[in-house]
Structure formats: structure tokens, C-alpha cells
Amino acid sequence: MFFVDTLEFEGLGNRSYLAGGPDAAVVVDPPRDIDQVIAAAARRGVRIALVAETHVHNDYVTGGLELARVTGAQYLVPAAAHVSFPRTPVADGDTVTVDEGLVLRAIATPGHTPHHTSYALAEDGRGVAAFTGGSLLIGTVGRPDLVEPRLTERLARAQHASAHRLADELDDEVPVLPTHGFGSFCSSSQAEGDATTIGKERETNDALNLDVDTFVARMLAGLDDVPAYYAHMGPANAAGPAPVDLTPPERADAEEIASRLAEGEWVVDLRSRMAFAEGHVAGSFNFEGEGKLATYLAWLIPWGKPVTLLADTPERIADAQRELARVGIDRPAAATTGDPAGWVREGEQLASFPRARFADLADVRERDDVVVLDVRRNSERAAGHVEGAVHIPIHELHGRLGEVPSGTVWVHCASGMRAAIAASLLDAAGRDVVAVDDGFDAAGEAGLTVTRR
């Protein structure tokens, strides 16, 4: 009997897979931190015989090269991918045996990248799984605009053709197991649901239900912003990532924290937005460890800028360090945990700012002329925004702080997480800020005018 184990990475919105038989297995699109993949194989009691990449990833640093080196596995990489390390190139139609009776077949599915390759797993000739990477996702497909702007429309058309090829070649009951689509910005739209099959996608996926021109026009119109750090992921993966080092970083005391802030380095507080607002090191930034830490920190930080991590527990530091390594922020400069009062020098005080709801904003707006700052993405704002609000997407705010009008700034997003990041950026810049920690649906309910104009 075959098995397929799913490894989920919620912070990045991706999945990897371990699939095999009684003795041997293949790993598809492994993460940078390979220890958990090795542990999953150990729990199954199987040898990792193959490591397969569906494409050169644009949203995270792969652990494939290191996993293959450590385990002695054969490293399968699409033949057309331009990489600088030894691997086994795979082309359309190539097959490789995973375990007795279990065969993996490469299917060229260009679209997300020109060289993208899906893998169909068959047991005794019967299709049992399709690892579709950034091709056919749950209810959508991978975005085609991450490689080269001049190729975007061509790749979008290729996505349509690739989705049809998978649907034509695979039976309806075959599970579709994508890498992207669970929050990843590599998806052209976000997946709804947790599992799917070829048959379900045939019924619901636009790529399989719209003509190519309509599909391409609709997809291109819906593409959202691309995280800035994506520009560094592809080159890192093509060059061959170095092994990851997850040993604890150097411990920072209050003097070192102050020194690093004075040098213009980033000091990142991983605590909850509630705890941060109540008391934090002045000049530090709040990226919640339980939020989309890697995505937003890697998106906002100037690439290569040293980062020091602050958290309530060593476990939170370790989790953050692991997540950041997945996007190429390999080693925190320093870290510390414990009581925030110990993070500032003697005689210094922790900074703070208030949190509020949209109802509070509605009340104060009736009395005072306050600045409302919307840090959601363009597509979110287009669906409805508070009338009169200034709009600067969160990923642009650090470079556009000077554009925020004078006065107390009430900053909001869709739920509170990004507003907390924005509030910390404004607070560090010396602005008076109120973080609106509320769902956007509450804005209209509070009596604020929400408009699409």
C-alpha cells in the first residue's frame, strides 16, 4: 500500500509531500528546514529515495539539494530549469520507480514557470496522486507573473493548457496535491477548501471551465502585489541553497538592543499585538510570531538588514528562526526573551500606544479631525474602504512614512495583524498612533461610510 503524508507550512501558505510504499519514498517540494522531513520519513520507517522539485521556487528557499545530499536520494529537477548544481534532470514523460509497484511520472505543465513539471504517482498502473506544485491548485492555478513581465500572458495561456492536460490525462478520482494555494502569494487566487481531486477541479476550476481568452483576462486582472523578497528566492534556489543553521542566536541584553537600534538595524518583537501595544522597546517593530511572520517581515525589511528577535519564550524565537530561514533570513543577529522591562536600559521606559475598534474610530471622527490610514492591498481597498482614508499598502509604508498626514493616525487593515505592524512602524518614527484591532466588516456596522469610489 502507498501512503501520502502532507507537511503544512501555514506561515508561507505552502505544502510539501512525503509519498511512498513500505520501504522507500519521494519528497516533493521540500522546505528549507529538512529535519522535519527526515523525521516524517523516520516515523514511516521508509528511506527517502527521491527528492523532486516541481519548479525553481519563487516564494521560499528549498531544502531539496541538502535533503538529497544528506539522504543520498536522487534529486529530480525539471531539465529546463537553469540551476548551478548536480541533479537528475527530468523531462516530460520520464518515469522513476519510488518503491515496488509505485512509479512517478513527470508531466510538463508550464505556466507558473516555463519549466514547471507536475508528477503523477501510480500504484500498479493506477493513478493515485498528482503533485501539481504551482500548476493546478484548489480552485485556481499558480500565478504566471513571477518570472518575467514579458512572459506573463504567454505563461497564463500555458497555465490554461497545462490544467487541461492534467484533466485529460488523469482520472477524476486522482487527488490533486498542490504546493501553493493555502495563503501563498504564488497562487493567482486563494484556495477554498483543503482537498480536491481532478474531478472536482473539472467542475469548479476556471482554468477548466472558461475559454482561454476569458480565463487569461480574468486571471491577469486579479493578480495582486508580489512580495519584494521573491526577487531573491529564485536566484538562491538556482544557485543551490546552503545548509540551514538553526542553532540559537547570540543573546542580546538591553545595551546591545539599544546599540543595534542606534545602528539602524531591525529589532523585531514577536509577541502578540496586544502585548506589544501595552509595552515595547521604543523603535522596535511588531511582527507577531503567530501571524504571517516570514511573508511580511521578509517583504518589508531591507534585504540583508540584520534582525534581532525579541519574544516571551525561547520556543517562540526558535519557531521564528525556522520560519525566517525558509525565506532566506538565515541567522538572526541576536535574540532575547523574558520580561520586556529587561529589554530597556536602566532609567528608560517601555513605549506604548492605544488599540481601538472601528466603533471607537466612528466616535472620535465625529469630534476630531483624525488621520485614517488603510494599509490593505489595492485589491482589498477596491472592494470597499472607509471614506476619506489615506491608503498606503503595508508593504510600501516603511518607504512612504513621510506621506502620512500630520496628526494622530488611526491605522487599520482587514483584521488587525497588518495594522499592528503598521502601528509599530509609525510609533518607531515618532508618530502618535492608534491601532484599530478589528475586522473590516465592523467599519460599516459602526456607522463609518464605506465606499468603493
d(CA 439, CA 419): 11
For residue 440, CA distances in Å to 90, 205, 354, 365, 411 come to 47, 28, 18, 17, 12
d(CA 114, CA 122): 25
d(CA 321, CA 330): 8
pLDDT in tens, 111-146: 999 999 999 999 999 999 999 999 999 999 999 999
Averages of pLDDT over each 10 residues, the chain, 453 residues:
93 93 98 97 98 97 98 98 97 98 98 98 97 96 94 97 98 97 78 87 96 97 92 96 95 97 98 98 96 92 97 97 96 96 96 98 88 95 95 96 96 97 98 97 96 84
d(CA 453, CA 451): 6
Backbone angles phi, psi at 150, to 5 degrees: -70, -15
Task: State the DSSP code for 395.
Answer: H
- Helix ranges, 45-103 (H): 64-71
Residue 18 has what pLDDT?
A: 98
Task: Confirm if 427 and 278 have CB atoms less than 8 A apart.
Answer: no
For residue 9, CA distances in Å to 32, 170, 433 come to 11, 27, 33
Residue 224 has what pLDDT?
A: 87
pLDDT in tens, 198-249: 999 999 999 999 999 999 999 999 898 999 999 999 999 999 999 999 999 9
Residue 191 has what pLDDT?
A: 64
For residue 40, CA distances in Å to 14, 20, 30, 234 come to 17, 12, 12, 27
- Quick one: cell of 356? 481601538
Other Cβ atoms within 10 Å of 216 Cβ, number: 21
For residue 441, CA distances in Å to 224, 434, 449 come to 21, 19, 12
Closest C-alpha among 32, 31, 30, 68 to residue 50 = 68
Torsion angle, alpha carbons of 146, 148, 151, 152, to 10: 30
Chain position carrying cell 522546505: 31
Task: Confirm if 374 and 381 have CB atoms less than 8 A apart.
Answer: yes
Q: Residues with Cβ < 8 Å from 394, sequence gap 6 or more? A: 296, 300, 375, 376, 413, 418, 421, 422
pLDDT in tens, 273-298: 999 999 999 999 999 998 789 999 99
